[in-house]
Amino acid sequence: MAFEFPIRVYWEDTDAGGIVFYANYLKFFERARTEWLRSLGVGQQLLKEQTGGMFVVTDAQLRYHRPARLDDELIVTAGLQVAGRASLTIVQRALLKPEQMNDQGATLLTEGTIRIGWVDAATMRPARIPSTLLEQLTP
């Protein structure tokens, strides 16, 4: 079951054509990942302070299916696909809320796979994810 985070599209999210600027989906995905971690009891600032490490995006692959527009209500999901020793692969989707589609179900707008690596915050060198953290993130 993927974590779900609601987002509304504002003027600042759109381009001159009135649709969500493609790069803003990365911001939406970032917010959903942050809230997903928070829902699991992982606050990123506290984590950095306690462990000296942090997650950084190392790879992002997105596929755009349909545009979102001003005032649309979206559901952005985040779910763990793979947990490795030094990185996590997160599957994410941005969907148009079903209520906006006359109860036809949520419409897939964008989907992506984001890889986040664990690094030492001081040196930015790759490191192993603390085992206690991995236990929190994996069922």
Q: Which residues are catalytic?
A: 15
Q: What is the DSSP letter of 128?
A: P
CA–CA separation, 120 and 111 (whole Å) = 29
Maximum pairwise Cα distance, the chain:
51
CA–CA separation, 101 and 68 (whole Å) = 12
Based on DSSP, count helices (H) and strands (E) in the chain, helices before strands: 3, 5
CA distances to 6, 13, 34 from 51, in Å: 30, 34, 17
